[in-house]
Chain A
Amino acid sequence: MGNENGFLVALRDVHKVYHRDRIEIPVLQGINLEVREGEFLALMGPSGSGKSTLLNLIAGIDSPTKGEVHVAGESLGTLRPKRLAAWRARHIGFIFQLYNLIPVLTAYQNVELPLLLTRLSGKERKRRVHFALELVGLRVRASHSPRALSGGEEQRVAIARAIVADPTLLVADEPTGDLDAKNAAEILTLLQRLNAELKKTVIMVTHDPHAAARAHLTLHLDKGVLQP
């Protein structure tokens, strides 16, 4: 994989500064982070501490003000937008707090979306979509629209969408933030299985100590720096 010294994710002195009405808001101040392949990492921290910002940098949907972000063998700062999009399609599976399924598409079509960017045959796509839905236990709901699904089910469809293209890294921003305890536990078990059985590297942002307890490792983000 040509990783940075054997790490799947490596951040070097990453800074992020937002500007609002000419006022500089320093959010990340010199983040250094290394994540090995197969890791299950939880990021915690108070609201507004920059957890989502950090996750977005790792997922290549935002860029740092300063510093380097190496993920899955690429230095993201050097990629042009087109290459970066292709890189995301290949390496990143993103799970959102609010699921963010496309409401006009069925569960099946939502899961199929990332595969539309590949050269896979229709038959192969179908096989993979069914496999992903099977994995999250929702094969029977394939033809349902997101509106007909419960929150927990929607998030499982979103997870199927995140893994269908077999990405290197799963990133989840408060995946259980909008779910009740029972559904949250199911989702966390699913993430654990993906990590253990499919060897997916998982980075998860959460406020919930129970959720963080499922990870191998928890890091705390506060005042712009990471602490164990």
Chain B
Amino acid sequence: MRFVAANLLRAKRRTFLTVFSIAISLFLFCTLRTVLTSFEASLRASDASRLVVRHGASLVFPLPLSYRERLKQVSGVTGVTYGNWFGGYYQDPKNHFAQFAMDTRTFLDLFPECVLPPAEAEAFRAERTACIVGRSLARKYGWKIGDQVPIIGTIFPGEWMFTLRGVYEGRSKDVDENTLFFHWDYLNESLPEVRRSQVGVYWLRIARADLAAAVSDRVDALFENSPQPTKTETEKAFQAGFISMIGNIQLLLAIIGSAIVFAIMLVTINTMMMAARERTTEIAVLKTLGFGDGLILRLVGAEALVLSLLGGILGCGLAAVVFHESDFTAGGFFPNFRVLPGTVVQGLLLASLMGILSGIVPSFQAARLRIAAALRKVA
């Protein structure tokens, strides 16, 4: 087994390059998988008994505030809250994360997955310029309760100053902890007369998840003939639709990514086969010394496997560390962008597969090698 190690160390540069290319392909693999798992996690986090009501034509058109009372009347609806996407950033346009102006009276009630100590919730409601943020956002920027948090608005221009009154935690790991919520009333009052009383999105709580379709139809029918028709769907469908706006890019990414992973895999396999071919004489010598075919098979195979696993550990480890440290959220798009253990396991399995694939041909060739003929080639 020392022989395996010695062989790997022999061509240090080639070993390094091979390990490195496997590492890169697995890093890519983990990244792509994580894009998918994060997306799935945010779908999972969305509540099936919550409906989203938006303008029938597009998300960018607002709905009147007056819809609130009428929505409450719809049978099957047990709660209504509303809010606007704020679309600002903190200090630098790079620092953008999700901010929502929410109706503070009802919002926490409809979003039980955001867990906030009662005292902090009370303080948040009581103060017009107060805001609350998710735990990881607070950690990222080092905010503490009582801090002033200035946000530069893009949809609603100007600098908006908020006072941090609470830090919420997600009820489960899938819940986004990278959002800032503040008072819808504060936003509304600060706007010029013409832009007031306009709501981006209403959220409805319904009695049972299986009422979703019926309630959605009822709501949309209600506003069908008004100047602002609605489109109502479950939060899950809403999220999915939102993300499918870049869905095609995602697909493209997946295709390109898989192609790269595949190409690197082939290159790696080829490299290992070449490495084995160069050693034909050595293998013939070992066999002359009495090393059996089975032992030779295991030696050459083990080498490929060690190489691939090394690359795999490096690549997956790198992905896990990078995405853990960087708090990468793609601008609030993937609120919980972290590499799941399952992804790492899949990556390592893929690496083993590469090892087996790249080891299988050379190791069987080595085992089957006919000594006399192999020795002739150089003699």
Question: What is the interface of chain A, defined by CB distance below 8 A to chain B?
Answer: 52-53, 56, 59, 61-62, 81-82, 85-90, 92, 94, 96-98, 100, 102-105, 109, 113-114, 117, 161, 173
8 Å CB contacts to A: which residues of B284-299? 285-294
Nearest A residue to B8 via CB reads: A104
Whether A82 pairs with B285 at a CB distance below 8 angstroms is no
Please, could you name 15 A-B residue pairs with CB atoms under 8 Å apart, sorted by A?
A52-B379, A59-B288, A61-B372, A61-B375, A62-B372, A82-B292, A86-B292, A88-B288, A92-B290, A94-B289, A97-B379, A100-B282, A102-B285, A104-B6, A105-B3
Q: A97 vs B6: C-alpha distance in the bound complex, in angstroms?
A: 24
Judge if B9 is at the interface, Cβ distance under 8 Å: yes
User: What is the bound-complex CA distance between A109 and B3, given in angstroms?
Assistant: 9
- Cβ–Cβ < 8 Å partners of A104 in chain B: 6-7, 9-10
Q: In this complex, which of A92, A104, A117, A173 has the most chain B Cβ atoms within 10 angstroms of its Cβ?
A: A104
Q: Which residue of chain B lies nearest to A118 when distances are taken between CB atoms in the complex?
A: B290
Residue in contact with A94 in the complex, picked from B9, B288, B376, B378, CB distance below 8 Å: B288
From residue 273 to 320 of chain B, which have CB atoms closer than 8 A to chain A? 281-282, 285-294
Cα A117 to Cα B287 in complex, Å, equals 11
Q: Does B371 contact A (CB under 8 A)?
A: yes
Please report whether the interface of chain B is mostly helix, strand, loop or mixed according to DSSP: helix
Q: What 1/0 flags go to B182-225 for Cβ under 8 Å of A?
A: 00000000000000000000000000000000000000000000
Docked CA distance A161–B3 (Å): 16
Q: In the complex the two chains form, is B290's CB within 8 Å of A85's CB?
A: yes
The contact of B285 among A56, A59, A100, by CB within 8 Å, is: A100
Chain A residues whose C-beta falls within 8 Å of the C-beta of B370 in the assembled complex: 62
Closest B-chain residue to A93, C-beta based? B289
**Contact partner of A88 among B10, B282, B289, CB < 8 A?**
B289
Chain A residues closer than 8 Å to B9, beta-carbon distance: 104
CA distance A97 to B379 in the complex (A): 8
Q: Are A90 and B6 in contact (CB under 8 A)?
A: no
Query: Least Cβ distance of A157 to chain B in Å?
Result: 13
Bound: A109/B379 CA distance, A? 24
Assess the A103–B294 pair: CB atoms within 8 A: no
A85 in contact with B292 (CB, 8 Å)? yes
Collect the chain B residues with CB atoms within 8 Å of residue A100's CB.
281-282, 285
If A94-B288, A103-B10, A113-B286 touch, does A85 touch B293 (CB 8 Å cutoff)? yes
Measured CA separation A102–B7 after assembly (Å): 10
Chain A residue contacts of B286, Cβ below 8 A: 102, 113
Chain A nearest CB from B11 CB (Å) reads 9
Q: Which residues of A contact B376 (CB under 8 A)?
A: 52
How distant is B300 from chain A, measured CB to nearest CB, in Å? 14
The distance in angstroms between the C-alpha atoms of A98 and B3, with both chains bound, is: 21
7 more contacts with CB within 8 A, not counting A92-B288, A113-B286, A173-B379, are A61-B287, A82-B294, A85-B293, A100-B281, A104-B9, A105-B6, A117-B290
Once bound together, how far apart are the Cα atoms of A90 and B370, in whole Å? 20
The 4 A-B pairs at the shortest CB distance, nearest first, are namely A89-B290, A62-B372, A61-B371, A104-B10
- Given known A-B contacts A100-B281, A104-B6, A114 and B289 have beta carbons under 8 A apart: yes
A85 and B287 contact, Cβ closer than 8 Å, known pairs A62-B372, A98-B379, A104-B10: yes
Interchain CB contact under 8 A, A61 and B288: yes
Docked Cα-Cα span, A89 to B378, in Å, equals: 23
Q: Provide the bound-state CA to CA distance between A117 and B296, in Å.
A: 12
